[in-house]
Structures are given as C-alpha cells and as structure tokens.
Amino acid sequence: MSTGIDIRGVRKLFGSAQTGTLAIEHLDLEIKQGEFVSVVGPSGCGKSTLLRIIAGLTAATEGSVSVFGKPVRGPLTECGIVFQQPILLDWRTIVQNVLFNIDMRGLDVEAYRPRALQLLASVGLSDFADKLPYELSGGMKQRAAIARALVHEPPLLMMDEPFGALDALTREQMRIDLERIWLATKKTVLFITHSIDEAVLLSDRVVVMSPRPGRVETILEIDLPRPRGFAAREKAAFNGATRVITDIFLARGVLHNDAT
C-alpha cells in the first residue's frame, strides 16, 4: 500500500508558550491508502485537533502533514468529513442536504443526483430522500451526513466521533453499516472515537493516544476477519485488543478499577 496520510513531528500549542495549552506533542503517524485507522484516547488528548490539522482546518504549530503525497497547507478538498452532529440544513430535503456539498463546490447538482440517491439507498434512506431533517431520527440524520461526505467521491473519509450522540443500539448498527460501506469502497478512513470497542471492531489498526498533551502510546494491529458483525465481540482477538488498550488507560490513570 502507498501512503495516504503522513504526519511527522506534529505539535499543536493553543495560545502562548507561557500560558497556552499544549494539545499535541511531537506526534508521528503514517496511514496507508485504503486503511481504516481509528484514534482512541481520553477527552482533551488532541484527537479532534489532529483530525482538524490533517483536514487543513487548523495549522500545526510544528511539524508536517501530507495527504496522498501533497503537503497540507490549507483546507483539503479531496476529503469528506463527518462530525459528531449531522449539521443538516432544516429547510433542505435529505437529498438536497446530501447534494449541498456539490452545490458549494460549484458542480452540476443534477449530474450528481443519481449518486446522491444511490448513497441514500446504501445507508437505508431511499424512502426518506424527499423528507426534511426533522422527520428523521438521530441515526438516520447521521446516515445522511455520511452520504453527504461521500457524494463527491473523496479518497479520504475523516470521522470525528460520528456515533457519539447516538443510543447504544443505533450506534452498533451504524458501526456495522459503516464497515459495509468501507468494504465496498476501500477509502482511506481516519475515525476518532472514545470507544475502545468501536475502535477495535472497525479498524485495521488502532492508534492509542496518551492524555494531554497527546502522543501516540501504541498502535495495535487488529487481527479480526471481516466483515465483523455482532459475533466479533466473542472472538479472542477482540478481547485481547480491548484488554491491551484498557490496561494502557488504567496504567495512565485515565481509567480506574474500583475493584482494586
């Protein structure tokens, strides 16, 4: 595989050196094209800041980032981003929301309509294309946001805790749906999450970050066959990987075992 994302010596300081907040400290990471990589870590460790730096929405204080061999010096156009909240426009139908990405790029909206409808079908929203956002549940809105992020066929998909606001059952189904979409497209995916289980179940590799300032504690290869349905939680490889990550967070004081 060739390199999709290359991060070298990235450091991010918010504010001054004396009174500011050091969010990320000398972080190195390489993600191959077509890989699904999750970043898991405690709140405030710089996970979302890292995503914003890769997307060109925030500049690193030090270090370099390149995506598909090109240095990031401003907002990326060849990526799709899904945030924790779907951020749909209330006055546009669901298919119009998906096509908003195309509209803002000055592209031919009608030429992309079949693509938008196909994506809505792939996330189970065929019957809701002409509905308004208030008529959809939270999980359905987030499915629409994923379709919007993919409509312009970006090679890179970045997701910042996209299931964080969903209930447990919807979150589990969204995890399975996302894996199915990824298996069909094999896009490069960077997935930010607080959930150890979610990171292990979705990823080829899991990047475990330290508490602030964020550094890479370890990177785990996940040896689980795909697709990883509900039964994947019963596999020894799943239990082993989650145990390793949990032990890291226990050792760093991120988690506390009351039993001891």
Within-domain flag for 225: yes
> Whole-prediction pTM value?
0.92
CB 58 within 8 A of CB 12: yes
pLDDT at 260 over 60: no
Within-domain flag for 38: yes
- In this prediction, residues 173-177 reach a mean pLDDT of 90
- In this prediction, residues 166-185 reach a mean pLDDT of 90
Within-domain flag for 127: yes
CB 47 within 8 A of CB 190: no
- Model confidence pLDDT, tens digit, residues 239-257: 999 999 999 999 888 888 7
Where would I find the H helices in the chain?
47-54, 94-104, 109-122, 138-150, 168-185, 196-202, 236-251
Distance CA 149, CA 86 (A): 10
- Model confidence pLDDT, tens digit, residues 38-94: 999 998 899 999 999 999 999 999 999 999 999 999 999 889 999 988 999 999 999
Share above pLDDT 90 across residues of the chain, in percent, rounded to a whole number: 80
CB 67 within 8 A of CB 93: no
Within-domain flag for 63: no
Within-domain flag for 104: yes
CATH code for the domain of 152? 3.40.50.300
- In this prediction, residues 168-190 reach a mean pLDDT of 91
Within-domain flag for 64: no
CB 7 within 8 A of CB 209: no
Phi, psi of 115 (to 5 degrees): -65, -45
Can you give the residue range of the structural domain that contains 150? 33-58+76-251
- Model confidence pLDDT, tens digit, residues 93-140: 999 999 998 998 899 999 999 999 999 998 889 999 999 999 999 999
Within-domain flag for 9: no
The domain tally of the chain equals 1
Within-domain flag for 22: no
